[in-house]
Amino acid sequence: MWGYLSLLPVFLAFWAIAGIWTVRCGNYPPESCVFSQVLNVGAAMAAWICILRYHQLRDWGVRKCPNQMILWTGLLCALGTSIVGNFQEKNQRPVHLTGSFFAFFVGVLYFWLQVLLCWRMKSLPQPGAPWLGPLRLVLCSLCMVVLHVWLLRSASAACEWVAAMLLFILFGLFAVDFSSLGRCTLHLQPGPNSLSPPASPISLQVPL
């Protein structure tokens, strides 16, 4: 039974891919205004997905340090996406390229860390069909090839579009991982002024 949270990655993939191919050019208004809004909304949804994924991995037993590293790379990817949308290459090229680095290179690192985590921790749940893991590996590899071509061609716009589509598809695949995510666990720590703190943190199951 798929939970409604699985719709978030699907909506992000369709929203972003349809948006960037409908607007096409983001250097001149009014297209640049629409392009900025599309990427800002997409960045917000990507950050939300990264946070949900962090809590899901935590509940699956992933240690805090690697989980936080994965989270921060995902949040930097979302930040870079917003920067790309708001600082057009024609007007602010250095800032635009900085945002592109966070959005694409750090974004690819985020998904490579996900692939590596699933490979190292065989005990992690693997929702969906068996071919989803190899598909993620292929998409991450294609991203690396596109970004390599992007560097050789000095920031080719076509490579940016292709890399963006591949990353949004990878985000969309989280729909499978979120298919059974209907609730989260909140760990409540006692406050410093508590008169009778419990012996251990309290866990509450909260429907989302």
Q: What is the reported pLDDT for 181? A: 72
Mean pLDDT over all residues of the chain? Answer: 82
Q: Which amino acid is at 138?
A: V
Q: What is the reported pLDDT for 200? A: 43
pLDDT greater than 70 at residue 95: yes
pLDDT band at 3 (very low <50, low <70, confident <90, very high): low
pLDDT greater than 70 at residue 202: no
Q: What is the reported pLDDT for 204? A: 42
Residue 69: strand, helix, or coil: helix
Q: Which residue has the tokens 């068996």?
A: 130
Q: What is the reported pLDDT for 206? A: 44
Q: What is the reported pLDDT for 182? A: 60
pLDDT band at 201 (very low <50, low <70, confident <90, very high): very low
Considering Cα of 106, then 56, then 127, then 176, what sign does the dihedral take?
Answer: negative
pLDDT band at 130 (very low <50, low <70, confident <90, very high): confident
Q: What is the reported pLDDT for 34? A: 86
Maximum average pLDDT range among 27-31, 135-139, 160-164, 177-181: 135-139
CB atoms within 10 A of CB 8: 20
Tell me the whole-structure pTM to 2 decimals: 0.81
Considering Cα of 168, then 69, then 178, then 183, what sign does the dihedral take?
Answer: negative
Q: Which tens digit of pLDDT belongs to each residue from 40-70?
A: 999 999 999 999 999 999 988 899 999 999 9
Judge contact between 73 and 110, C-beta under 8 A.
Answer: yes
Maximum average pLDDT range among 26-40, 74-88, 150-164: 74-88
Task: Decide which of 187 and 64 is more confident.
Answer: 64
Which residue, among 61, 84, 56, has the nearest Cα to 179 in the 3D structure? 56
Q: What is the reported pLDDT for 199? A: 46
Instruction: Give the percent of the chain with pLDDT over 90.
Output: 42
Judge contact between 146 and 163, C-beta under 8 A.
Answer: yes
User: Domain residues of the chain, as ranges?
Assistant: 4-183
Task: Decide which of 197 and 79 is more confident.
Answer: 79
